[in-house]
Structure 1
Amino acid sequence: MTGSETTPSFRLAYVPGVTPAKWVRIWNERLPGVPLALVAAPAAEAFGVLRDGAADAGFVRLPVDRDDLSAIPLYTETTVVVVPKDHLVAAAEEVSAEDLADEIVLHPLDDTLDWENPPGRPALERPATTEDAVELVAAGVGVLVVPQSLARLHHRRDLTYRPVSGVPQSRVALSWPQEETTDLVEEFIGIVRGRTVNSTRGRPPTPPQPKRKRPEAGGAQRKPAGGKSAGAKGARGGSAGSGGKGAKGGAKGARRGKPRGRS
């Protein structure tokens, strides 16, 4: 088998917290002959995965270096604070950054919020990963501020989270190498943007079928109103006028004539 005959495929990278299942399902419905392979990548390594050609496109967190990568922003995530269920914060519906001023706020090395001045008091050491930081929260060492998707990803029964205002938010985007905007990349961009199969970049639409005209009810077999009955009535009337009453009148007149005299 030559290289030109190789079955095409599409590789999609995604960072922790992003759930690509919806777009993968649509891809499989529209392009069943092109397998899609998922490539999990840490947030800090996702751009290297795209540049090295290990994935054709990927869901990443902004910002993106636009010198060699293209990106389409998709959505902004809610930022939350992860705390033990018996923490005072758990009693509130939402907190602000100022409410965390007295808390030890863990700042993992793989943080995705691009803090300038994280709230609260810093821990003695920064956890290596968000998952490690969640374990420290469960141990009562501090609290953790992260995008909501990461709080859900690392959910534990003994922890909960609440929205936080006045803090940075994480934005998720679809990104791909500018020099590798292939037809399959364009196809996936269309899926993410919500294009239908009948859109200009999708499959050609099915031409409209001509409508069949329905014949009028009884149109070809409808007879003129009164045609047959009028003719029959006229015929009956004609025969009665010519032979019926006139004949009787003639016969009656013959009976009333005077008898001839005898010779």
Structure 2
Amino acid sequence: MTDSQVTPSFRLAYVPGVTPTKWVRIWNERRPEMPLTLVAVSPGEAFELLRGGGADAGFVRLPVDRTDLSAIPLYTETTVVVIPKDHVIAAVDEVTVEDLADEIVLHPLDDTLPWESLPGKSANERPATTADAVELVAAGVGVLAVPQSLARLHHRKDLTYRPLTQAPESRVALSWPEDATTDLVEDFIGIVRGRTVNSSRGRTQTPAASAADQSKRKSPDKGGARGKQTGQTGKAGKPGKTGGKNAKTGTTGKSARSGSGGASKGGGKRGKPRGRRP
């Protein structure tokens, strides 16, 4: 591999609302030799950044063009409506799309919700960004439907939000160029999917794992050695015990039993078998 092909760091893009902190922390623990660089990108620019090699992978919002990009859906966000704190909607815990029929619903150009038809009344023009739309909500121009993470990202003290039912939802996914599924990308996929170090797909086992396997393979041999030692002790012990008992009679084996009658009676004659009547 030439120097031009070596990646100095793993570049991870992410769109607004996504917080990659947890995954970055795990990456730094597992791959301290490979720095991870975060690249903040707008939803509209994320896919072109991946295609152009500006990032190795990225957290994006679906849908994803699967022609040249791979994607793993991760989670679905709750849709909320952002309103002023003194708005009448703030008095309820949940809002439906029908409740917005008389409201001006702002529709920024970077909106990621897959609306079939926007609820409420349309504004005279579309704000350029979600941040601009939030400013208009604060000014009392209208209300805004967004994924909950964006409502938190653009939080203001004079604004609040409520869950919006019957509305489309935004789905977050991990995406990367299909023809650039490198080992680094595979490692990050494993982290996102919650795989352990030893279960990462396509990765070589760690020395600790190999040592554990060798220990397991050696354990039957140790058991067999103990079994042989036990067997030898048993064989040696039994003759010793037998010899000790027969020492009282001075004989061993069957001859001691057959001659015991004469020795005890002192007559030298073979006595009748015990337990039989004459």
TM-score w.r.t. the length of structure 1 is 0.77
The correspondence of residues 161-200 of structure 1 with structure 2, limited to 5 A, is 161-196=161-196, 197-200=198-201
Q: 1:6 Cα deviation (Å)? A: 5.0
| Amino acid in the other structure paired with 2:46 | A
Partners of 2:178 and 2:99 lie apart in 1 by: 43
CA contact (8 A) 2:187 2:200 kept: no
- The answer on whether the counterparts of 2:190 and 2:201 sit within 8 Å (CA) in structure 1 is no
CA contact (8 A) 1:195 1:202 kept: no
Output the amino acid matched with 1:128: A
Q: CA deviation at 1:203?
A: 4.9
Q: Quick one: distance in 2 between partners of 1:190 and 1:133?
A: 37
Q: Which residue of 2 aligns with 1:26?
A: 26
CA shift at 1:5, angstroms?
9.1
- Work out whether 1:138 is the aligned partner of 2:121: no
Q: 1 CA distance for matches of 2:137 and 2:160?
A: 10
How far is 1:132 from its partner? Answer: 0.6
Question: CA 1:142 to 1:9, structure 2 compared with 1: closer, same or farther past 3 Å?
Answer: same
Q: In 2, Cα distance between the equivalents of 1:7 and 1:168?
A: 39
**Preserved CA contact (<8 Å) 2:77 2:148:** yes
CA 1:200–1:43: 2 relative to 1, 3 Å:
closer
Q: Paired residue for 1:204?
A: 205
In structure 1, the partner of 2:265 is none
Q: Tell me the equivalent position of 2:45.
A: 45
Do the aligned partners of 2:18 and 2:149 also contact (CA within 8 Å) in 1? Answer: yes
Q: SS in structure 1 opposite 2:205?
A: coil
**Partner residue, 1:68:** 68
Task: Give me the whole-angstrom Cα distance separating, in 2, the residues matched to 1:81 and 1:185.
Answer: 36
CA positional deviation for 1:191: 0.8
Runs of 4+ in 1 over 3 A off after TM superposition: 4-8, 197-203, 207-213
1:86 deviates by 1.2
Matching residue of 2:233: none
Residue 110 of structure 1 is matched in structure 2 by 110
Matched to 1:10, the amino acid is F
Let me know the Cα RMSD of the aligned residues: 3.3
Aligned residues: 242
Q: Letter of the 2:41 partner, please give it.
A: A
Taking the aligned partners of 1:50 and 1:165, their CA distance within structure 2 comes to: 33
Contact 1:26-1:191 at 8 Å conserved across structures: yes
| CA apart distance, 1:32 | 0.4
Q: Which has the larger radius of gyration?
A: 1
TM-score by length of 2: 0.73
Select between 195-204 and 97-106 the one with higher mean Cα deviation. Answer: 195-204
Q: 1:6 to 1:130 in 2, by over 3 A?
A: same
Rate the CA distance shift 1:177–1:163 in 2: closer, same or farther, 3 A.
same
SS in 2 for 1:45: helix
Q: 1:86 aligned to 2:86?
A: yes
Residue 136 of structure 1: how far off its partner (Å) = 0.8
**How far has the Cα of 1:8 moved from its partner?**
3.7
Alpha-carbon contact 2:186-2:201 (below 8 Å) kept: no
Alpha-carbon distance between aligned partners in 1 of 2:5 and 2:72, rounded to the nearest angstrom: 32
| Inter-partner Cα distance in structure 2 for 1:203 and 1:85 | 55
Question: Residue 261 of structure 1 corresponds to which residue in structure 2?
Answer: none
**Are the equivalent residues in 2 in contact too, given 1:190–1:201 (CA < 8 A)?**
no
Identity %: 72
- Quick one: distance in 2 between partners of 1:53 and 1:77? 28
Q: Deviations over 1:16-48 (max 9, x none)?
A: 001111111111011000011011110000001
Cα distance per residue 1:119-160 (max 9 Å; x no partner):
111111111110011011111111000000100100011111
SS in structure 1 of the partner of residue 186 of structure 2: helix
Identify unmatched segments of 5+ residues in structure 1. 216-263
Q: Residues 121, 28 of structure 1: CA spacing in aligned structure 2 closer, same or farther, 3 A cutoff?
A: same
Give secondary structure in 1 for the equivalent of 2:60: strand
Shift of 1:167: 1.0
Cα distance change of structure 1 residues 30 and 203 upon mapping to structure 2, 3 Å threshold:
farther
Deviations 1:44-64 (A, max 9, x none): 000010011000111111111
Deviations 1:76-110 (A, max 9, x none): 11000000111111111111000010111111111
CA distance in 2, matches of 1:149, 1:73: 17
Please give the secondary structure, in 1, of the residue aligned with 2:189. Answer: helix
Contact 2:138 2:158 in 1 (8 A): yes
